[in-house]
Amino acid sequence: MKRIIIFYLLTVSAFAYSQNEGNDNLTKFGRINLGIHAIEFSYELPVSNKFVWENNLGIGLGMNTNGDMAHYNLAFDKPTPYLKSELKFVYNRKKRMLKERKIYNNSGNYIGLQAKYSFGNKNVYDLNQSVLTEIHWGIQRNLGRKFLFNTHIGLGYLWDFDNSSGEISPTLGVRFGYRLF
């Protein structure tokens, strides 16, 4: 587990220094999100004119496998901590600009590749240490200058470290964010 955290921190810092400062379209910012999965702090970092790398630290939804199914549980009194990293390919920003639609806060449609590592929570529902790797299609939109709406739908693979088993699972995300800086 220490190796995963060290890898995560090294990767985040490497991309932070490789950002293209001349990028006029995409912006870097931090925000707090509340959604169907959890509450989290996230940071969006443009790595090119069409790619954004979003990293999250949150508490909320836990995961495990039961041999034939992936299980997701949310316990409000004992949330499960997690790390999440997502690379988004934002593909329709120029079209949005031509139609004079807002592109603030990296608004647009995207295809994302995401990995979520859950630390597990043995106090509730036997939630295990697990990683969910998924590919999805999503949208991110402004709700004013500081508020954002983000949703995605896709397909993922959940690997449960405690049970040494994995399952394919549909994925869904809906969250509202507030831009902090």
- What are the C-alpha distances in Å from 143 to residues 68, 104, 117, 148, 153? 40, 10, 29, 5, 20
**In this structure, are residues 57 and 41 in contact, taking their beta carbons and an 8 Å threshold?**
yes
Residues 46-75 have a mean pLDDT of: 88
Given 3-state DSSP classes, what are the helix, strand and coil percentages for the chain, each rounded to the nearest 5?
Answer: 15, 55, 30
φ/ψ (deg, to 5) at 10: -65, -40
Report how far apart the first and last C-alpha atoms of the chain are (Å, whole number): 30
**Sign of the torsion formed by the C-alpha atoms of 27, 92, 133 and 82:** positive
- pTM of the model as a whole: 0.82
Query: Residue 131: is its pLDDT beyond 70?
Result: yes
Strand partners, 89: 51, 111
pLDDT at residue number 2: 56
Rounded-to-integer distance, Cα 41 and Cα 125, Å: 25
**In this structure, are residues 25 and 93 in contact, taking their beta carbons and an 8 Å threshold?**
yes
Residues 8-33 have a mean pLDDT of: 62
**Low-confidence winner among 3-7, 64-68, 84-88 (lowest mean pLDDT):** 3-7
Query: Which of the two residues, 13 and 22, has the higher pLDDT score?
Result: 13
**In this structure, are residues 36 and 175 in contact, taking their beta carbons and an 8 Å threshold?**
yes
pLDDT at residue number 85: 98
pLDDT at residue number 118: 93
pLDDT at residue number 34: 97
Residues 52-69 have a mean pLDDT of: 89
